[in-house]
Amino acid sequence: MAAIVVVVVAIAVAALVAIAWGWKFVAAPLIGALVWAWGTATLRSFRRGAHGVGTADEGDVSADAVPGTTLFWCEECGAELLVVAPGSGLPPRHCGARMHARTEI
When mean pLDDT is compared over 23-32, 33-42, 47-56, 73-82, the highest value belongs to 33-42
Longest dimension (CA), the chain: 75
Does 93 score more than 70 pLDDT? yes
- Residues paired with 73 in a beta bridge: 80, 100
Mean pLDDT confidence for 85-105 = 73
Does 58 score more than 60 pLDDT? no
State residue 72's pLDDT score.
Answer: 83
Quick one: pLDDT band at residue 64, thresholds 50, 70, 90? very low
Report helix, strand or coil for 5: helix
65 Cα distance to chain centroid: 30
Does 103 score more than 90 pLDDT? no
Full DSSP string of 21-48: H-THHHHHHHHHHHHHHHHHHHHHHHHH
Mean pLDDT confidence for 75-104 = 77
